[in-house]
């Protein structure tokens, strides 16, 4: 069966940044029958069109750099705005993969926290479906070391995509906890 995979780039530099280069390299890991679409969140606001793409996707790939220990501001804006999709059929049980880039420090915490947010929202996190790729690894892996297998390698993206696509075939009738659907921005602090 063919699948639609939506790739969301949370980098503030959008199609001009390193995340865009990383995404370009991901394409070769997908089978030809997979329909791919990339959305650069720095210049695509959340609205009916993006909501429709998210709902129609069989799976979503989240890509971001690390910026002062956190994910990119366009990714944060999306998470805030798509709160309305929490626990809805648009995302419930929808598999996602997460790729985080960094120079040297903070990316694993970004990966773990982002996967935590996505799981709480209702996405499915398949096993081994996220990695961090750093400038430090990129330099280190150019040399030979018996420790090399313990580093995330750029080609580990292949197995992550493989797990993501396998998870698309799962059919589970997930249960949701109750979600407050009133305006999450409403004031609760009163004196
Ligand atoms: C404002 C800013 C803050 C950054 N903060 C970190 C950081 O905390 N840790 C780190 O390892 N790399 C950090 N980086 C490096 C980026 O995570 C890395 O270059 C990433 O590949 C950027 O992807 P992009 O070019 O698509 O935005 C930072 C880069 C910028 C521009």
Give residue-wise pLDDT tens across range 136-160. Answer: 999 999 999 999 999 999 999 999 9
Q: Can you read off the two tokens belonging to residue 169?
A: 């075939």
To test ligand 1's pocket by mutation, which of 17, 41, 66, 133 has the most ligand atoms within 8 angstroms of CB? 66
pLDDT at 2: 85
pLDDT at 1: 66
**Residues of the chain above pLDDT 70, percent:** 99
Tell whether ligand 1 has an atom less than 6 A from the beta carbon of residue 151: no
CA of 64 from ligand 1 middle (Å) equals 9
Please state, rounded to an integer, the average pLDDT across all residues of the chain.
97
To test ligand 1's pocket by mutation, which of 11, 43, 102 has the most ligand atoms within 8 angstroms of CB? 102
Ordered domains of the chain (ranges, CATH): 4-167 (3.40.50.360)
pLDDT in tens, 42-83: 999 999 999 999 999 999 999 999 999 999 999 999 999 999
d(CA 60, CA 122): 12
Question: What phi and psi, each to the nearest 5 degrees, are found at residue 19?
Answer: -60, -40
The pLDDT of 7-35, averaged and rounded, is: 97
CA of 102 from ligand 1 middle (Å) equals 5
Question: With bands split at pLDDT 50, 70 and 90, how would you rate the model's confidence at 111?
Answer: very high
Contact 86, 122 (CB under 8 A): yes
Contact 123, 60 (CB under 8 A): yes
User: DSSP assignment of the chain, as one string?
Assistant: ---EEEEEE--TTGGGSHHHHHHHHHGGGS-TTSEEEEEEGGG---SHHHHHHHHH-SEEEEEE--BTTB--HHHHHHHHHGGGGTTSTTTTT-BEEEEEEESSSSHHHHHHHHHHHHHHHT-B--TT-EEEEEHHHHHHTTS--TTGGGS--GGGHHHHHHHHHHHTT------------S-TTS-----
Taking CA atoms only, the protein residue closest to ligand 1 atom 22 is 65
Tell whether ligand 1 has an atom less than 6 A from the beta carbon of residue 17: yes
pLDDT in tens, 93-106: 999 999 999 999 99
CA of 19 from ligand 1 middle (Å) equals 10
d(CA 62, CA 64): 7
Is the predicted pLDDT of residue 119 greater than 80, yes or no? yes
Tell whether ligand 1 has an atom less than 6 A from the beta carbon of residue 66: yes
Tell whether ligand 1 has an atom less than 6 A from the beta carbon of residue 115: no
The verdict on pTM exceeding 0.95 is yes
Three-class DSSP category at 145: coil
Residue with tokens 């940044």: 17
Tell whether ligand 1 has an atom less than 6 A from the beta carbon of residue 67: yes
d(CA 2, CA 32): 9
């Amino acid at each position: 069966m063919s699948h639609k995979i939506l790739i969301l780039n949370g980098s503030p530099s959008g199609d001009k940044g390193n995340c865009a280069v990383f995404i370009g390299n991901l394409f070769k890991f997908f089978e030809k029958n997979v329909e791919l679409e990339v959305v650069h969140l720095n210049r695509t606001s959340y609205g009916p069109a993006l909501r429709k793409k998210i709902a129609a996707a069989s799976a979503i790939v989240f890509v971001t750099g690390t910026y002062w220990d956190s994910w990119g501001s366009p990714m944060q804006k999306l998470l805030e705005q798509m709160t309305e999709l929490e626990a809805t059929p648009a995302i419930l049980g929808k598999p996602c993969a997460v790729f985080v880039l960094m120079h040297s420090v903070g990316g694993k915490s970004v990966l773990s926290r982002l996967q935590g947010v996505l799981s709480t929202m209702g996405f499915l996190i398949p096993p081994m479906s996220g990695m961090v790729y750093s400038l430090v690894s990129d330099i280190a892996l150019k040399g030979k070391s018996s420790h090399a297998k313990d580093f995330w390698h750029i080609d580990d993206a292949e197995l992550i995509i493989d797990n993501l696509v396998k998870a698309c075939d799962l059919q589970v009738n997930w249960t949701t906890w109750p979600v407050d659907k009133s305006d999450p921005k409403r004031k609760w602090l009163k004196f």
